[in-house]
């Protein structure tokens, strides 16, 4: 027995050492990759890089190989190691306690800005990007002004020549933004999850980078056209298709394409005309190809890492979502809110606050919409649920379709659905806090439901590390929305002994029903009507054919090797003898085409391998849902929820006709949470998030001030702010 325990301890220590090694590698690779971006515009780098480029011309790789390895493969390697790290991270034992200096990075630094709320991580990211842009522009333009050489075919004054060089360097800044643009919207290969940044939050970085890219691209194009215009060179330049050099026609069309994408992405268009946004956004393929022909292959390697990872990530997503499953059951709540339950493979694990993307082919064959998962995979091992509020065209169409099915009381017609995900943090880190404060507004209650159910189901595994107290503040416009608390009503009315202490405060802002208590309201409000769909004709449960993260990393590395080998083949056998013997001074369209072909070959090979893996999983593991599903058994949890009979404790409160003042609420909690680390999780309207963020910001400063006085006064609680989004 002692030998077995010792062996497990050794395995645990080996896993921890491996995780530490992987974490160190990730930090080193990211540091080297960041340093390269800052070194690139320097004279030392340019001088030595040309020597390396010349020496590589005598090898089979030519200059393409060194460009790919230095500028592209580092970030691909980072993604591969990140997949292994995130795959192993759930094995790591979760430690209690929070380093306040590091946790403060999640707290808001500036609450109200034109960019929205900015946390410490946001400020650091913006500082690095702005510093890189300013440094690159200064280094390049100062060197350009020292070596001003007028073009032979254009007679330019000094100021015109300087303005032309400035416009050219604006194009380089746009290239840097494009180099980072696609990283925030990676899902399966997302590097942001390593930092604990959720997909919805990272989309903000994509929007910021896209806007900055458009701004610099406009300055680049407008400045160049202005100089050409005053010298009557627009027609000559724009229609000249150089054998070697920049293809300006491609650049002009790329700029127009970028403007169409950016305008259709504005909130006014995206929220009112989602179809326009969705279809216009796919013009990114045209833009990237035109950028390749305009800038050339050497410049394209600066942005190729994001393009490559995005293509592989898109491939994994398409394969994962290609088999359609069915909606297992639907529950209709008041206020046009529906809960969808899908069948899932029992081996599929996800963490609370994860999201899935859902497509209903009956409504649209192309539209995907993200929703927070409300269920816990440890509670519901065969089902997964989401709640959807009908507010837009797509959600209203779904609501109408499902209401018709409920009214017909038919179990014969199945509603097909495609699912992609789940995407979320690799481990459940909220248990590391001493206490939890959950604040939700309206449909923002959905991620809180998964957190509470996960805490309640942890029992022996996490009972020693669960927060000692959890407070849930739920703000809603009307009392009918309280029915959304149905999945956790048994935790409120009949708290299990192994569950941490739960307090509930409900604020109903637009109604006044002072005679009803929270218990009476929970009992009187309808939990909605439920209908079960017939699953006999469905043979697929979501998550069964998901590709293992380790295989995803292996396929990513294999595809990058195929890309490099394809480039070597084109360099060695298809280039003309003249191009073999001498390195082209500037990129040519022929080289661009070969790079594009190599990219397509790599993606095609990856597709074949991924499809083979999917086919193998389907062949060896497919089971018929009709033999594994028990509709009555799947609703045992709901029956348990409705069977609660215990009285509510006095600390559970309901307030009518009032909004919570979060600064006052946090001040009252100081005595309860004295000296502890409190995780504050908020999901709701932006005004609510701003109010909570301001309160946490104030309390965070007070905590640091009290700690700096050597604890002569009672230690203050430390509130760590976490913002969740339920819409993009």
User: pLDDT tens, 476-489?
Assistant: 888 778 878 877 77
- Distances 516 to 482, 505, 522, 524, 634 between C-alpha atoms, Å: 13, 14, 10, 10, 32
Q: How confident is the model at residue 22 (pLDDT cuts 50, 70, 90)?
A: confident
- Residue 129: per-residue pLDDT: 93
Looking at every residue in the chain, the average pLDDT score rounds to 78
What average pLDDT does this structure show over 590-604?
88
What CATH number is given for 321-532 in this structure?
A: 2.40.30.10
Structure token pair of residue 114: 């034109």
What's the confidence (pLDDT) of residue 258?
A: 95
The region that residue 296 occupies, defined by phi over 0 for left and psi between -120 and 50 for alpha, beta otherwise, is left
How far, in Å, are 20, 26, 307 from residue 552 at the CA level? 21, 17, 17
Q: At what angle do helices 120-146 and 199-230 cross, to 10 degrees?
A: 20
Question: Tell me, what's the pLDDT at 661?
Answer: 87
pLDDT interval class at 528 (50, 70, 90)? low
Kindly report, residue by residue over 95-110, the tens digit of the pLDDT: 555 666 666 677 778 8
For residue 366, how many other CB atoms are within 10 A of its CB?
Answer: 10
Q: What is the pLDDT of residues 27-46, one digit of tens each?
A: 899 899 989 999 999 888 88
pLDDT value of residue 250: 87
Confidence of residue 59 (pLDDT cuts 50, 70, 90): confident
Q: What is the pLDDT of residue 430?
A: 76
Strands 329-333 and 416-423 come out as: unpaired
Domain positions in the chain:
2-88+123-245+296-319+547-572+591-617, 321-532
Distance CA 619, CA 630 (A): 24
Q: Could you report the per-residue pLDDT of 316-359, keeping only the tens digit for each?
A: 888 877 767 788 888 888 778 888 888 887 778 888 888 888 88
State the average pLDDT over residues 79-92. Answer: 77
pLDDT at 214 over 90: yes
**Residue 82, SS3 per DSSP:** helix
| pLDDT of residue 572 exceeding 80 | no
What pLDDT, on a 0 to 100 scale, did the predictor assign at position 4? 53
Cβ–Cβ under 8 Å, residues 149 and 165: no
Tens digits of per-residue pLDDT, 367-403? Answer: 888 888 888 887 777 888 888 888 778 888 888 887 7
Q: How confident is the model at residue 93 (pLDDT cuts 50, 70, 90)?
A: very low
- pLDDT at 259 (0 to 100): 96
pLDDT tens for residues 611-643?
887 777 665 555 444 444 444 444 444 433 443
In whole angstroms, give the CA distance from residue 181 to residue 209: 6
Return the pLDDT at 525. 62
What pLDDT, on a 0 to 100 scale, did the predictor assign at position 691? Answer: 86
Highest mean pLDDT among 65-74, 106-115, 151-160: 65-74
User: Which of 64-73, 147-156, 497-506, 600-609 comes out lowest in average pLDDT?
Assistant: 147-156
What phi, psi does 597 have (nearest 5°)? Answer: -65, -40
What was the pLDDT predicted at 579? 46
Please give the torsion angle defined by the CA atoms of residues 107, 113, 115 and 117, in that order, rounded to the nearest 10 degrees: 20
Q: How far is CA 670 from the centre of its chain?
A: 34
Instruction: Output the pLDDT for position 643.
Output: 39
Residue pair 146/156 in contact (Cβ under 8 Å)? The answer is no
pLDDT tens readout for residues 164-184: 889 999 999 999 999 999 999
CB of 683 closer than 8 Å to CB of 724: yes
Per-residue pLDDT reduced to its tens digit, 453-476: 888 776 545 445 677 788 889 998
The full DSSP string for 2-33 is HHHHHHHHHHHHHHHHHHHHHHHHHHHHHHHH
Q: Which residues pair with 172 in a beta bridge?
A: none
| Helix orientation angle between 199-230 and 248-264, rounded to the nearest 10 degrees | 140
Question: Does the structure show a pLDDT above 90 at 18?
Answer: no
User: Which of 242-251, 597-606, 717-726 shows the lowest mean pLDDT across its residues?
Assistant: 242-251
DSSP secondary-structure letter at 633? H
Whole-model pTM: value is 0.85
């Amino acid at each position: 027995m002692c030998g077995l325990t010792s062996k497990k301890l050794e395995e645990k220590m080996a896993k921890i050492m491996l995780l530490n090694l992987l974490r160190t590698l990730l930090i080193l690779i990211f540091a080297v990759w960041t340093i390269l971006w800052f070194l690139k515009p320097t004279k030392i780098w340019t001088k030595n890089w040309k020597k390396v480029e010349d020496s590589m011309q005598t090898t089979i790789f030519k200059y393409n190989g060194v460009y790919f390895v230095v500028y592209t493969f580092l970030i691909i390697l980072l993604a591969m190691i990140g997949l292994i790290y995130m795959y192993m991270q759930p094995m790591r034992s979760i430690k209690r306690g929070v380093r306040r200096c590091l946790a403060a990075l999640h707290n808001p630094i500036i609450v109200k800005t034109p960019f929205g709320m900015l946390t410490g991580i946001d400020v650091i990211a913006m500082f690095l990007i702005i510093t890189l842009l300013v440094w690159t522009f200064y280094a390049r333009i100062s060197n350009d002004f020292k070596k001003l050489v007028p073009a032979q075919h254009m007679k330019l004054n000094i100021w015109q020549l300087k303005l032309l060089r400035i416009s050219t360097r604006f194009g380089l800044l746009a290239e840097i933004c494009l180099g980072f643009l696609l990283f925030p919207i990676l899902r399966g290969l997302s590097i942001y999850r390593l930092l604990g940044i959720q997909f919805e939050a990272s989309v903000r970085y994509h929007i910021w980078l896209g806007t900055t890219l458009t701004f610099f691209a406009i300055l680049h194009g407008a400045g160049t056209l202005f100089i050409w215009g005053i010298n009557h060179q627009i027609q000559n330049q724009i229609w000249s298709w150089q054998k070697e050099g920049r293809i300006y026609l491609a650049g002009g069309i790329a700029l127009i394409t970028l403007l169409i994408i950016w305008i259709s992405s504005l909130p006014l268009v995206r929220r009112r005309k989602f179809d326009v946004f969705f279809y216009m956004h796919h013009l990114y393929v045209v833009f990237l190809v035109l950028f390749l022909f305009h800038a050339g292959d050497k410049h394209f390697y600066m942005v190729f890492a994001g393009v490559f990872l995005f293509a592989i990530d898109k491939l994994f997503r398409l394969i994962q979502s290609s088999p359609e499953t069915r909606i297992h059951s639907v529950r209709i709540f008041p206020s046009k809110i529906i809960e969808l339950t899908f069948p899932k493979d029992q081996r599929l694990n996800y963490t609370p606050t994860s999201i899935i993307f859902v497509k209903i082919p009956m409504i649209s064959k192309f539209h995907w919409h993200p929703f927070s998962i409300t269920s816990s995979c440890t509670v519901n091992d065969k089902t997964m649920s989401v709640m959807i509020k009908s507010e837009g065209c797509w959600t209203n169409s779904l609501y109408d379709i499902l209401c018709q099915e409920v009214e017909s009381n038919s179990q014969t017609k199945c509603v097909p659905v495609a699912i992609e995900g789940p995407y979320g943090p690799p481990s459940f880190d909220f248990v590391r806090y001493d206490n939890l404060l959950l604040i939700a507004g309206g449909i923002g209650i959905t991620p809180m439901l998964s957190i509470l159910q996960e805490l309640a189901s942890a029992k022996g595994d996490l009972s020693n590390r669960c927060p000692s107290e959890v407070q849930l503040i739920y703000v809603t416009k009307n009392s009918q929305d309280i029915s959304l608390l149905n999945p956790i009503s048994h935790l409120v009315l009949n708290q299990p002994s192994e569950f941490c202490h739960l307090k509930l405060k409900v604020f109903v802002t637009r109604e006044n029903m002072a005679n009803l208590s929270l218990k009476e309201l929970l009992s009187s409000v309808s939990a909605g009507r439920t209908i079960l769909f017939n699953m006999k004709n469905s043979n697929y449960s979501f998550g069964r054919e998901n590709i293992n993260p380790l295989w995803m990393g292996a396929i990513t590395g294999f595809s990058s090797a195929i890309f490099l080998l394809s480039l070597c083949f084109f360099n060695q056998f298809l280039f003309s003898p003249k191009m073999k013997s001498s390195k082209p001074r500037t990129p040519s369209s022929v080289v661009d085409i070969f790079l594009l072909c190599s990219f397509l070959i790599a993606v095609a090979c990856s597709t074949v391998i991924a499809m083979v893996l999917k086919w193998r999983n389907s062949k060896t593991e497919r089971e018929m849902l009709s033999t594994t599903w028990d509709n009555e058994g799947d609703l045992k949890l709901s029956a348990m929820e409705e069977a609660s009979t215990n009285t509510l404790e006095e600390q559970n409160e309901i307030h009518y006709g009032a909004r919570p003042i979060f600064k006052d609420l946090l001040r009252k909690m100081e005595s309860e949470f004295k000296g502890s680390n409190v995780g504050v999780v908020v999901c709701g309207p932006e005004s609510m998030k701003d109010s909570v963020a301001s309160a946490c910001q104030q309390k965070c400063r007070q905590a640091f001030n009290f700690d700096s006085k050597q604890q002569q006064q009672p230690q203050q609680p430390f509130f760590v702010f976490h913002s969740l989004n339920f819409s993009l």
